[in-house]
Amino acid sequence: MTERIIDKTAAALAEDIREGRLTSVEVTRAFLDRIAAVDGEIKAFTTVDAEGALAQAAEVDAKLKAGEELSPLAGVPIAVKDLFVTKGLRTTASSKMLEEWIPPYDGTIVERVRAAGLPILGKTNLDEFAMGSSTEYSAFGATKNPWDTDRIPGGSGGGSSAAVAAKMAPLALGTDTGGSIRQPGAVTGTFGGKPTYGSNSRYGVIAFSSSLDTPGPVTRTVLDGALLNEVISGHDPKDSTSIPQDVRPVADAAREGSGGDLSGVTLGVVKEFAEGSAQGAEPGVIEAYQAGVEQLVKLGATVKEISAPHFAYALPTYYLIAPSEASSNLARYDSVRYGLRVGDDGDNSLEQVMSKTREAGFGPEVKRRIILGTYALSAGYIDQFYGQAQKVRTLIKRDFEAAFAEVDALVSPTTPFIAFPFGSRTADPYQMYLSDLYTIPSNLYGGPAVSVPAGLSEGMPVGLQVMGPVMRDEVCYRVAAALESTQSPILAETAPEAEEA
Amino acid sequence: MTALNKYETAVKDYEPVLGLETHVELGTNTKMFCGCTTVFGAEPNTQTCPVCLGLPGALPVANKTAIESTILIGLALNCRIAEWTRFARKNYFYPDMPKNFQTSQYEEPLCEDGYVEVSVDGKPYRVEIERVHLEEDTGKSLHVGGSTGRIHGATESLLDYNRAGIPLVEIVTKPVPGAGALAPEVARAYVTELRDILRSLNVSDVRMEQGSMRCDVNLSLNKPGEEWGTRTETKNVNSLRSVERSVRYEIRRQSALLDKGEKIHQETRHFQEATGETSPGRSKETATDYRYFPEPDLAVMEPSREWVESLRERLPELPSKRRARLQEEWGLSEKEMDSVNNAGALDLIGATVSAGAAPQSAVKWWLGELSRRANEAGLELDAMSVTPAQVAELQGMVDEGRLNDKLARQVIDGVLAGEGGPAEVASARGLEVVSDTGALEKAVDEAIAANAEVAEKIRGGAHQAAGVLIGQVMKATKGQADAKAVRELIIAKLS
Amino acid sequence: MSTISRAEVAHLAHLARLEVTEEELDAFAGQLDVILESMKTLSEVDTDGVPPTSQAVPLVNVFREDQPQPSLQRDDVLAGAPDSAEDRFRVPQILSEEE
């Protein structure tokens, strides 16, 4: 069987386009066709912009023909999580609140993606305002996992991971507040990278929790993730929390890692995670993860047990900080300047219209977190709640720093369980929150962390997480690419072939 | 409605405690957290962007000049400048606030613990400053459908976000006790001094009528020796005169309630410009819960001491220093200087002196004739359509003997009526002193001839009788003669 | 039995401008216990003298020069508005909360 365009990696497609073997229009059309064929079933996209994508592709082709020097991913199309603001292209955050919002501006990362010549295929589904771990909280219906359409594709960025896993896009953008890039990556057998907080601009990314939100790449391979991250990362003067330094080159690290040599690299496993795993991690997940670690040892890495005593507090810390910030960030959806308005019948006051709009426009999980956050910030509690949580963050950060004095990176399962069936965890919010048990510490610390496929459990993908020191994203890419070099054949052979309609 | 007490009785029985919160819009080129311009009076919603409209995804970046202006204000108010400070979110829903939180400062203001010295009737008062912090302004609502254009009774409102996000500095005093019966004047003197300081710093155009400086006045009363009473906060106080009037009104209103044994409610009240009264605001929520927390979208600030000192070097001569210098240069008493200052005439007199007039003459014009006319017209002195240069020119004509006082006042009529400068008005209206010696001598001769008896007295040495003849001459010359010259001429002729 | 009363939830919902249903009041009252549990757990941690963290690389003094940037076109500003009139955003009567 000849390799189809949609089977190729982004790096390979970029080279084909650069070398003139394919045009961007051909490539873009192939993915649009694939979307048309399988997205009726998978429902990864909230909006598909075929016309816009083809126009951008034609532009890139013209530029290449004219001999213009373009970015390393020029011409390769991309899917964008519907949390990124796109000028002239509907941006919903998968909420009824913004169902018809057409933004008048582009966010910084979208600007960079456009400038680099990556046609935007469309916007992908998510848990409403990125709050969730399954995309079941999307106002437009859940996205399905291409490996098993009765199961969740992870969340909040389940649309992006499913689009990549089902080969509807070679590249996608995600955002990671507590694991929303890595956990969907793990459960769909794709790569997800959460960069160092502050290395990728948040300007134009709809805010969930400002001190945690981190945009990053969702791809099939580690190298593709690295190439995409290099397109989007770097200082942005429009984001006051953007670090005024360049991230170290991650693509080179990915190439180095794919050589399969990890000699001299010391990896840490977190003792407290192992203890915590007894409470919830599935044996199959632990097994696949441990097999992954053994592979890394075979490649020359040394493994060491590390104690991070405050990781035990990561989940409660996160569930104080994220809702607090969210309750404030989401106050702007009030029916005045944009978005939904309900109940403006001439009798209701503005306050009533606001309350009715927010009641109708937000789904249950968003409301729950707004109430939680409002409570956590309300009079007399700020020091007990938000203040204390930000201090515990410091202790978690110190645990990481102490660990990185001894090891180059930490490894863990990405998520305690494989993709679960729809509806199995929505009744109890805490069961859903457990999905992010292993991913949350890196968000609180701010350092980079990636999830890379590490085998299967019950026929479903399992992810291995690599966590690195702040601004040392390249370490994660190197280790992940090394593991990928041992794993990808397994995945490639068993990866799902979504049925084309 | 409670009847008011007489002010004199009220301040005999009770001691007022003042507190003032002043908001000042900075005169930066751009808004606090985005690059939108801040021109006053632009078409609605033309100075807005994703940041100041609170669009999803937009993020703030702090304006360096606004930070510097705030530090300058802190320094001018003798404050301590924070070594570590940050912004906080003040959460509450209101449609003129695009994010439904205001980016402000909470526990860590940029500047703290300063003071302002004012003087009323020659008596000094020190008003302690609690804090100076930086925040963003809100948009403006236009209320439609009500009878008065006010929020009550309106059927809908229209929002313009041009003002949303303009840097706003809040200056909060500590409670000011001890002003007694002079509390209204002390309040006004403080706001005047603050305005003058801000103007000298060139950080704001401090126009109360345009809302770039707005005042909230807190006031409580207590019986001598007792604890401070419950305070009210009067908003919407938008002129210096209103500051004084609102304090006076609240003293009269609260004292009447207290006399009847009633309690003062801690509440927000509104000042009504037209009647000089304050009225209660409608408040649905008793205690507002702003849920302050540190703004995660902005970096903390650590103003370096080098930066602060370099700003200190940029401080201009402050009004109090300048006043002391001018008082000496102009040879005025404390009390005279207070009058000059409280009339808002300092700059006008200064400019008049710079344009060549003697200080005493400049003071005389601005505090006398021109103040009288400003009062009649209900205008602030600096809103009169006469410039210091014109006043100096006028005085020059008097000094040269080309105008006498009466003619000079007529010239002012013309200048205020927009007929041009003093020289132009004088010539157009034919208001020059008669200096034609021939004509004058003729008038004097006629007066002597017509009043032989009086002339005789003068010849006998009764020079005070010359007034009668001077009157005649002035009448004959339609007031355009220089009385002093006429007198000299008469005496010379009759000696 | 939840620790937080329905009345308290109703007050929070009002602060957050959510016109919640009776069923939601019950549900949220129970689920708010999650945060109380979190608080209880976190209050065990000794954080005396520990500074708060909100960034991976703490930044200080991030400022912008006072240089004007283009604003949006007014048509674009108002295009997304649920309602507008006279070049402004139109809202129903504001019952005074802040006055």
Q: How far apart are CA B38 and CA B25, in angstroms?
A: 10
Q: What is the pLDDT of residue B2?
A: 62
Task: Locate B111 and state its tokens.
Answer: 């500047």
Task: Report pLDDT digits (tens) over A231-267.
Answer: 999 999 999 999 999 877 999 999 999 999 999 999 9
Q: What is the pLDDT of residue B283?
A: 55
State residue A434's pLDDT score: 85
pLDDT at B80: 98
Listed residue (A418, A431, A487, A442) closest to A197, CA to CA: A442
How many Cα atoms occupy the beta-carbon half-sphere of A252 within 13 Å?
3
- What whole-number distance in Å separates Cα of residue B176 and Cα of residue B118? 12
| Closest among B381, B174, B148 to B274, alpha carbons compared | B148
pLDDT of residue B62: 98
Confidence of residue B342 (pLDDT cuts 50, 70, 90): confident
For an interface test with A, give the residue of B31, B142, B297, B300 to mutate (most A CBs within 10 A). Answer: B297
Q: What is the pLDDT of residue B1?
A: 58
- Could you give the 3-state DSSP secondary structure of residue B1? coil
- Does the beta carbon of A392 lie under 8 angstroms from any beta carbon of chain C? yes
Q: What is the mean pLDDT of residues A53-66?
A: 97
B101 neighbourhood in chain A, CB within 8 Å = 328, 331
Parse chain C into domains and list their residue ranges: 1-45
- The A-side interface with B (CB below 8 A) comprises 84-85, 91, 93, 98, 101, 103-105, 107, 202-207, 210-211, 237-241, 324-325, 327-328, 331-332, 334, 336-338, 346, 350-351, 354, 374, 377-379, 382, 386, 390
- Which of B76-85, B259-268, B485-494, C58-67 is predicted least confidently? B485-494
C50 touches chain B (CB under 8 A): no
Q: What value does the mean pLDDT of chain C take? A: 88
H or E stretch at A277: helix A271-280
Residues in A closer than 8 angstroms to C17, CB to CB, are 331, 334, 351, 354-355, 358
As a whole number of angstroms, the longest Cα–Cα distance in chain A is 72
CA distance C30 to chain A (A): 11
Nearest C-alpha neighbor of B291 from the set A387, C71, A48, A193: A387
Instruction: Assess B281–C contact: CB distance below 8 Å, yes or no.
Output: yes
Residues of A in contact with C18 (CB under 8 A): 355, 358-359, 362, 367, 370-371
**CB-based burial label for B123 (10 Å; 0-12, 13-18, 19+):** middle
Beta-carbon contacts of A254 under 8 Å, excluding residues fewer than 6 positions away, are: A222, A223, A225, A226, A477, A478, A480, A481
Kindly list the strands in the beta sheet with A191-194, ordered across the sheet, starting from the edge strand earlier in the chain.
A45-48, A120-124, A78-81, A171-176, A214-219, A191-194, A449-457, A460-467, A409-413, A266-270, A302-306
In degrees and rounded to multiples of 5, residue B391 shows phi and psi of -65, -40
Q: Which domains does chain B have, with CATH numbers?
A: 7-312 (no CATH), 343-429 (no CATH), 437-493 (1.10.10)
Q: Taking a C-beta distance cutoff of 8 angstroms, is the pair B170, B22 a contact?
A: yes
Q: Which of A95, A160, A180, A258 is catalytic?
A: A180
On the question of pLDDT at C97 being above 90, the answer is no
Q: What are the tens digits of pLDDT across the range A292-310? A: 999 999 999 999 999 999 9
Helices A250-258 & A222-232 angle (0-180, nearest 10): 170
- Say if A435 is an interface residue toward chain C (CB within 8 Å): no
Selecting from B36, B145, B152 the residue whose C-beta is nearest the C-beta of C71 gives B36
Q: What is the CATH code of the structural domain delimited by C1-45?
A: 1.10.20.60
Residue C47 to residue A388, Cβ atoms within 8 A? yes
Q: Which pLDDT tens digit goes with each residue over A445-500?
A: 999 999 999 999 999 999 999 999 999 999 999 999 999 999 866 566 666 777 67
CA count, 13 A, side-chain hemisphere, A314: 31
Burial of B376 (C-beta count, 10 Å sphere; 0-12/13-18/19+): exposed
Q: What is the pLDDT of residues B14-69, one digit of tens each?
A: 999 999 999 999 999 999 999 999 998 899 999 999 999 999 999 999 999 999 99
Q: Do A372 and C4 touch (CB under 8 A)?
A: no
Residues 332-371 of chain B with CB under 8 A from chain C are none
Minimal CA–CA distance to B44: which of C99, C66, C90, A334?
C90
A vs C, Cβ pairs < 8 A, gives 187
The residue with greater pLDDT, A492 or B406, is B406
Whether residues C61 and B302 touch (CB distance < 8 A) is answered with yes
Q: Directed axis angle between helix B334-342 and helix B346-354, to 10°?
A: 100
The rounded distance, in Å, linking the Cα atoms of B333 and B337 is 6
CB atoms inside a 10 Å sphere around CB B131: 21
Q: Residues C9-20: pLDDT tens digits?
A: 999 999 999 999
For residue B284, name the pLDDT band (cuts at 50, 70, 90): very low
For residue A276, the model assigns a pLDDT of 56
Tokens 């017209």 — which residue?
B377
Summarize pLDDT for B108-142 with one digit per residue, the tens.
999 999 999 998 888 899 999 999 999 999 999 99
- Decide if pLDDT at B488 tops 50: yes
Choice among A25-29, B7-11, B22-26, B444-448 with the minimum mean pLDDT: B444-448
pLDDT in tens, B192-234: 999 999 999 999 999 888 889 999 999 999 999 999 999 999 9
Q: Is A94 marked active-site?
A: no
Give pLDDT, residue C1: 47
Q: What is the pLDDT of residue C73?
A: 97
3-state secondary structure of A47: strand
pLDDT of residue A117: 97
Q: Are B237 and B23 in contact (CB under 8 A)?
A: no
Nearest CA in chain A to B154: A349
User: In this structure, are residues A449 and A467 in contact, taking their beta carbons and an 8 Å threshold?
Assistant: yes
The predicted-structure confidence for A279-288, as pLDDT tens digits, reads as follows 678 999 999 9
Residue with tokens 């280790």: A479
List the domain boundaries for chain A. Answer: 5-260+485-494
Higher-scoring residue by pLDDT: A412, B274: A412
Q: Give just the sign of the alpha carbon dihedral B378, B380, B386, B388.
A: positive
Residue A394 has pLDDT above 60, yes or no: yes
Residue A194 has pLDDT above 90, yes or no: yes
Specify the amino acid at residue A486.
Answer: T
pLDDT at A84: 98
Alpha carbon of C94 to those of A387, B95, B162, B286, B476: distances in Å? 34, 8, 20, 18, 70
Kindly identify which residue of chain C lies nearest to residue B155, measuring between CA atoms: C93
Give yes or no for a contact between B67 and B203, defined as CB atoms under 8 angstroms apart.
no
Contact A374 B296 (CB under 8 A): no
Within A57-144, strands assigned E span 78-81, 120-124
The percent of residues in chain A predicted with pLDDT above 90, rounded, is 88
Could you confirm whether A442 is annotated as catalytic? no
CA–CA gap between residue A470 and residue A397 (Å, rounded): 10
Question: Is the peptide bond preceding residue A156 cis, with omega within 30 degrees of 0?
Answer: yes
- The count of CB pairs under 8 A between chains B and C is 137
pLDDT at residue number A175: 98
Question: What is the Cα–Cα distance from B146 to B303, expressed in whole angstroms?
Answer: 48
Task: Note the pLDDT tens digit of each residue in B143-158.
Answer: 888 666 667 678 899 9
| Torsion angle of C-alpha atoms B356, B360, B364, B367, degrees rounded to 10 | 100
CB contact under 8 A, B157 and C60: no
**Do C34 and A319 touch, CB atoms closer than 8 A?**
yes
The answer to whether B164 and B52 have CB atoms below 8 angstroms apart is yes
> Across chain A, what does the average pLDDT equal?
94
pLDDT the model gives residue C98: 41
Please identify which of the residues A8, A81, A194, A356 carries the catalytic annotation. A81
Q: What mean pLDDT comes out for the span B414-422?
A: 91
B35 contacts C69? CB cut-off 8 A: yes
Contact predicate A85/C64, CB 8 Å: no
Q: Nearest C-alpha of chain A: how many angstroms from C1?
A: 16
The structure tokens listed for B1 are: 């409605």
pLDDT for B479: 75
Residue B285 has pLDDT above 50, yes or no: no
- CATH class, domain A5-260+485-494, is alpha beta
The question of whether A435 is a catalytic residue gets the answer no
